[in-house]
A and B are shown apart, each in its own frame.
Chain A
């Protein structure tokens, strides 16, 4: 077919521009762009703030079965210092009565010091707050310190030396970044997680946006005029580019805000009345930002093409919800595997997850930021992602072309296969 001679912009650009302007002008775009990071930070900071103010203390009774009866009273005293309501159990052998007291909410739980203590044995705790990790950590620490002190004394360590023996050992982990000092491992991990979360959210948000836009054009029937005026391929490309441009603007704003808030974190945290501490925050290099943005663009294209095809297959928003689930799972499963990459960025599993195109867009930037990937691996992962995006886009375009004019019945797998070979 001869290429049309025309004066104006090509169809895909006209369509992309329309999609872009319609979204950027909406008040929701501005609200989400500005409040998105605030919400993201809130989801991380709020639980921590709430956790800090929560009172982990509890009412406990101590059953001391040790022969010397030294452990129990010492634990009661140590807990008392921490403002716990602790006392020795009045009827130590009657566990049934103790359980009943827990059930009647007279106490939260009871601690049993075994007959082997302090030399050995297992200290047990039964209580309604047994799932409170914070409280259990405190309890375990108190029991450990008390027991160790008694063992030391039994071994003849003088009391004045005991304190120095039991003094806590400060420990700090840092990640080498090529700069003097490096940055704290914790901070690197937080940045890695943040990149993963931003990418996951942005890709799913905008890919679903493409889906909804396709379905909307079908439901308000504007698609008929569009197909009469432009090739379906230009329609799909324009839509993906337009929506993607909105996403790129938003991610750029978010990354910019994240970098600014890193720089001025002292002042920011001061507002909340929290001290910044002397974290060595990793300074993001230009290449790190580029990696995040490149994976957003590639990952978005990869998933948006699939979502566009899903949109073309359905005829209502409700139907779209059902059909998109398998596609969404392709992105959710990698997020569930994040721990594999986070804890062992150089492992075979991490390597595989960051090469597979379904998971590489969200996991590779994290692995890169954690220092687990070489430049070679990065380039290989990108090449695989680009190649699979081309394949997916081709197949999606075929499904889109046929599906976009179908109303009513959803196609079966066999029909889909036929559409692809048109």
Chain B
């Protein structure tokens, strides 16, 4: 499989601050890839380097196999920057066509495509209006059209969901799926884990400019599920009481606080599979209403991993002091 993006050992410093620190990841062609991280993690800086807006201090960025950022690669990329910007005084259709021409389309082609995009986004009758006459939501759609008019092979979206209402957020997800179905690669950054979880096939979580983990979303979640949290639901008080001795077994379950709630979440002891707990409970005659192996949400994984990372960094800081 060819790579749409290959980033290897990239470093970017601003003064004394290292925004991106020895970052490496690979984005295969034709996937939806999420770069996730808290604010200030270096996501935007990384995306800007892919677009040749700034140059890395060290490391390499390769696009479409062998191209450096900018130049010939730029015409095959669609970019939506974090800071959105349009020309307020330009007619909408002309402005979208303008960005198409900048990405190498002929004037006639750009005009035709701009019209088609506006129709598709339900803004057909606004073609001749100035950008400043549009509502904020409409301007966002125009911004997407401007980034996508030249049918780029690689679409880079920096925080695309920020400021979108739920309906437009759904529209954006649809567009991203369509792009992927058409064989394009979509790479975006976000700190909104719910959006990323719904749409990403692969992710890379970064914090403080460093990679925390990357890989397929499904595999990452499966790995996290094996870390063993189970939700139990008892049919009645009696069942809860009957379960107490089983749950008190430290070899099976990490010591829980003593309580008799009918719904409870427990943490399995290291190396214990959920199956064994289920067998033990059934063997003790506990009447169960529910037995769920918790699959952690991306949000949980993110908080857990990034939180740990930041805790470690803080610890290192303290150690140095």
Residues of A within 8 A of B (CB): 1-9, 11, 14-15, 18, 22, 26, 217, 220-231, 405
Residue of B nearest to A235 (CB): B102
CB < 8 Å neighbour of A224 from B53, B87, B106: B53
Residues of chain A within 8 A of B88, CB atoms compared: 220
Q: List 8 A-B contacts (CB under 8 A).
A: A6-B75, A8-B110, A11-B102, A224-B83, A225-B85, A225-B99, A228-B74, A229-B102
The reply to whether A222 and B106 contact each other, CB–CB distance below 8 Å, is no
Contact flag A4-B74 (CB < 8 Å), given A9-B101, A405-B54:
yes
A228 and B81 form a contact (CB under 8 A): yes
A225 neighbours in B (Cβ, 8 Å):
79, 81, 85, 99, 146-147
Taking a contact as CB atoms under 8 Å apart, the answer to whether B53 and A22 are in contact is no
* A8-B90 in contact (CB<8A): no
B107 contacts partner chain A, Cβ-Cβ < 8 Å: yes
B72 touching A4 by the CB < 8 A rule? yes
B70 touches A1 (CB 8 A): yes
B190 at the interface (CB under 8 A from A): no
Task: Judge whether B98 and A4 touch: CB under 8 Å.
Answer: no
Contacting pair A221 B85 (CB below 8 A): yes
> What are the residues of chain A within 8 A of B51 when measuring CB–CB?
227-228
Taking a contact as CB atoms under 8 Å apart, the answer to whether A4 and B71 are in contact is: yes
The 4 residue pairs across chains A and B that have the minimum distance between CB atoms: A222-B85, A221-B85, A6-B104, A221-B83
Tell me which residues across on chain B come within 8 A of A6, comparing CB atoms: 75, 104
Does B89 have its Cβ within 8 Å of any Cβ on chain A?
yes
Shortest Cβ distance from residue A220 to the other chain B in the assembled complex, whole angstroms: 5
B86 contacts A by Cβ under 8 Å: yes
Q: A256 vs B147: C-alpha distance in the bound complex, in angstroms?
A: 44
Expressed in whole angstroms, the minimum distance between the Cβ of B96 and any Cβ of chain A is 12
Does B84 sit at the interface, judged by CB under 8 A?
Answer: yes
Residue contact A228 to B52, C-beta cutoff 8 Å: yes
Q: Quick one: which of A4, A221, A222 contacts B75, CB cutoff 8 A?
A: A4
B103 touches A229 (CB 8 A): yes
Q: Cβ of B199 < 8 Å from any Cβ of A?
A: no
Interface residues on B, range: 35 or more
Q: Does B68 contact A (CB under 8 A)?
A: yes
**In this assembly, does B105 line the interface, its C-beta being within 8 Å of a C-beta of chain A?**
yes
Central interface residue in A7, A220, A224, by most chain B CB within 10 Å: A224
Which of the residues B71, B86, B103, B147 comes within 8 Å of A1, measured between beta carbons? B71
CB nearest to A224 among chain B residues: B81
Question: Are the C-beta atoms of B102 and A227 separated by less than 8 Å?
Answer: no
- Closest Cβ of chain B: how far from A294's Cβ, in Å? 31
Query: 1/0 per residue B139-153: CB within 8 Å of A?
Result: 000000011000000
Q: Which of B168-209 contact A (CB under 8 A)?
A: none
Contact status of A8 and B85, CB under 8 A, knowing A18-B98, A225-B79:
no
CA distance A231 to B89 in the complex (A): 23
- Which residue from chain B places its CB closest to the CB of A8 in the assembled complex? B106
For the residues of B in contact with A, the DSSP-based class is loop
Residues of B contacting A7 in the complex (Cβ-Cβ under 8 angstroms): 104-106, 109
Q: Which of B53, B77, B101, B103 contacts A227 (CB 8 A)?
A: B53
> Given the complex, which residues of B lie within 8 Å of A220, measured CB to CB?
85-88
Cβ of B236 to closest chain A Cβ, rounded Å: 61
* B68 proximity list for chain A (CB < 8 A): 1
Task: Report the separation of the CA atoms of residues A230 and B103 in the bound assembly, to the nearest whole angstrom.
Answer: 8
Identify the interface centre among B77, B85, B88, B146: most chain A CB within 10 Å of its CB: B85
- CB pair B99 A18 closer than 8 Å: no
B105 to chain A, nearest CB (A): 5
Residues on the A chain within 8 Å of B81, using CB: 221, 224-225, 228
Contact B53 A405 (CB under 8 A): yes
- With A6-B104, A228-B51, A230-B102 known as contacts, the answer to whether A222 contacts B72 (CB < 8 A) is no
Min CB–CB distance A173 → chain B (angstroms): 52
Which residues on the A side are within 8 Å of B109 (C-beta)? 7-8
Instruction: Given A14-B102, A220-B88, A222-B86, output 8 extra A-B contacts at Cβ < 8 Å.
Output: A1-B70, A2-B72, A18-B98, A22-B90, A224-B85, A227-B52, A227-B53, A229-B79
Chain A residues, Cβ within 8 Å of B77: 228
Contact partners of A405 in chain B: CB under 8 A: 53-54
Instruction: Report chain A residues within 8 Å CB of B146.
Output: 225
The chain A residue sitting closest to B73, CB to CB, is A4
B114-128 with Cβ < 8 A to chain A: none
Nearest B-chain residue to A222, judged by Cβ: B85
Tell me which residues across on chain B come within 8 A of A217, comparing CB atoms: 85
Q: A222-B86, A224-B81 are in contact. Are A8 and B72 (CB under 8 A)?
A: no
Could you tell me the distance in whole angstroms from the C-beta of A5 to the nearest C-beta in chain B? Answer: 7
- Type the 1/0 row for B280-314, where 1 means its CB is closer than 8 Å to any CB of A: 00000000000000000000000000000000000
What does the 1/0 interface line of B57-87 toward A look like (CB < 8 Å)?
0000000000010111011010101011111
**B47 CB, nearest partner CB in chain A, Å:** 10
A26 to B103, CA, bound (A): 26
Q: Specify the chain A residue showing the minimal Cβ separation from B55.
A: A422
- A222 lies within 8 A of B87 (CB): yes
Alpha-carbon distance A6/B81, docked complex (angstroms): 24
Contact A22 B104 (CB under 8 A): no
CA distance A225 to B147 in the complex (A): 9
- Docked-complex contact A228 and B53, CB < 8 angstroms: yes
Provide the residues of chain B in CB contact with A222, threshold 8 Å: 85-87
From the candidates B70, B83, B90, name the one contacting A18 in the complex (CB within 8 A).
B90
Residues of B within 8 A of A22 (CB): 87, 89-90
Q: Are A8 and B74 in contact (CB under 8 A)?
A: no
A1 to B88 CA separation, bound complex (whole angstroms): 34
- Bound Cα distance from A7 to B77, whole angstroms: 16
CB B242 to nearest CB in A, in angstroms, measures 63
Q: Across the interface, do A4 and B104 meet the contact criterion of CB distance under 8 Å?
A: yes
Of A2, A3, A6, most buried by chain B (CB within 10 Å of CB) is A6
Instruction: Return the chain A residue nearest B100 by Cβ.
Output: A8
Measured CB to CB, the closest approach of chain A to B288, in angstroms, equals 56
Given the complex of chains A and B, what is the CA–CA distance between A231 and B87 in angstroms?
19
Once the chains bind, are B85 and A229 in contact (CB under 8 Å)? no
Give the distance to chain B from A408, nearest Cβ to Cβ, in Å. 12
Find the residue from A3, A223, A225, A229 having the highest chain B CB count within 10 A. Answer: A229
